[in-house]
Amino acid sequence: MKYLATMKQVLEMEAKMLLQASERLKQTEINQVVDLFGQLQQWGGQFIICGVGKSGLIAQKIAATFSSLGMPSTFLHPVEALHGDLGRVRKNDVIVLISKSGTTEEIIKLLPFLPMDKNHRIALVGDPHSPIAQESGVVLDCSIEKEACLNNQAPTTSSTLALAMGDALAVVFEQLTNMTKEKFATFHPGGLLGKSMLMKTRDLMISRDLCAHVNETATLKDVILEMTKKPVGGCAVVDSNFNLLGIVVEGDIRRTLANHENALQLQMQKIMKKNPITIEPMTLAKEALVIMEKRANPISLLPVIEEGIFVGFLRLHDLLKEGFSSDQ
């Protein structure tokens, strides 16, 4: 029971410090931040995040968040900066300095060599009157009563607050730039979000040359042979110009074989499913999943057509393999 109480105490303490930090924010500080974001967008420049130790790890995460929102952002280690990494810092950059005490020696040593002026420095510090704060144009008060650590030593509450303050800055930038899901997805083409916003049916469909297709006079025997050569789960019935006339899936074959003695000799015009549900190549893959699953009888195979021409099949299996889910 005591361990449960400890976990609750930590979460409550950190939540309390976040709320107090929120109450300390001033409109003038946020106006300054918004102006700096505007300058970076207009004139170019990087949003640099600097810290050492645990603050350095927080700085890396904040930089990654800003990069994911389209802001050129990078982490700068203060020691490495004094040994060559200052070469990538420019006068028009904006730097965020993270320090619980506001007296981090490595950052203080770096300050005289930073090319940007004071107004382009944002301090996330636990002491708003500290040396680092005094050398910064914007000071965001990240002070805490104590660390959640039992010995008040390990960065816990302080690192949580610094991270949350960085997140708050990032969301302000997101709001300023009117970030949309579609724009966000362009920075995440490999993730599920990027796939859901960018991946089209054409990216996942099986092209026509790999799909079984016959004309409407073909027999069921012809279809079975064709589907054996090209096993995608169905066969398209097309005319001489590849206009889609209908489809036959494995279930249709089983039913025909069960209900007709001479089933193998039946032509497709008597078996095929006419006017099937279709999809176009440029339809988003996530929309295709909805078409296939959100119905009384889910569809596992969709013919893909372009101006009536059969161009391939889309399988539910391939959508699921890419990580798409109707629960998203």
- Whether residue 191 is contained in a domain is answered as no
Do 45 and 150 reside in the same domain of the chain?
A: yes
Q: Is a pLDDT exceeding 60 seen at residue 328?
A: no
Task: Supply 322's token pair.
Answer: 């890419």
Where does a domain end: 179, 213, 237? 179
Where does a domain end: 121, 144, 179? 179
Give pLDDT, residue 327: 61
- Whether residue 185 is contained in a domain is answered as no
Q: Is a pLDDT exceeding 70 seen at residue 316?
A: yes
Do 118 and 256 reside in the same domain of the chain?
A: no
Question: What's the total number of domains in the chain?
Answer: 2
Do 114 and 226 reside in the same domain of the chain?
A: no
* 74-120 pLDDT per residue, tens: 999 999 999 999 999 999 999 999 999 999 999 999 999 999 999 99
Residues 6+ positions from 69 with CB-CB distance below 8 Å: 170, 173, 174, 177, 179, 184, 187
Mean pLDDT value across residues 198-216: 92
Do 224 and 264 reside in the same domain of the chain?
A: yes
* 214-270 pLDDT per residue, tens: 999 999 999 999 999 999 999 999 999 999 999 999 999 999 999 988 899 999 988
Do 7 and 140 reside in the same domain of the chain?
A: yes
Element at 40 (helix H, strand E): helix 27-43
What per-residue string of b and e applies to 50-81 under the rule 16 or more CB within 10 Å gives b?
Answer: bbbebbbbbbeebbebbbebbbebbbbbbeeb
Element at 99 (helix H, strand E): strand 94-99
Give pLDDT, residue 191: 62
Give the pTM. 0.69
Do 48 and 145 reside in the same domain of the chain?
A: yes
- Whether residue 231 is contained in a domain is answered as yes
Do 103 and 12 reside in the same domain of the chain?
A: yes
C-alpha 125/C-alpha 61 separation (Å) is 17
Do 227 and 90 reside in the same domain of the chain?
A: no
Structural domain harbouring 126: 2-179
- Whether residue 326 is contained in a domain is answered as no
CA atoms within 13 Å, Cβ hemisphere of 280: 5
Torsion region of 8: left, alpha or beta (phi above 0 gives left; psi -120 to 50 gives alpha)? alpha
Give pLDDT, residue 193: 61
The torsion angles phi and psi of 206, rounded to 5 degrees, stand at -90, 120
Do 171 and 286 reside in the same domain of the chain?
A: no
Give pLDDT, residue 188: 61
Mean pLDDT value across residues 52-81: 95
- Whether residue 296 is contained in a domain is answered as yes
CATH number at residue 286: 3.10.580.10
- Whether residue 186 is contained in a domain is answered as no
- Whether residue 306 is contained in a domain is answered as yes
In this structure, are residues 40 and 71 in contact, taking their beta carbons and an 8 Å threshold? yes
**pLDDT band (50, 70, 90) for residue 294:** confident
Do 85 and 226 reside in the same domain of the chain?
A: no
Where does a domain end: 179, 212, 229? 179
CA distances from 113 to 49, 94, 194 (A): 16, 14, 40
- Whether residue 266 is contained in a domain is answered as yes
Do 6 and 96 reside in the same domain of the chain?
A: yes
Do 128 and 254 reside in the same domain of the chain?
A: no
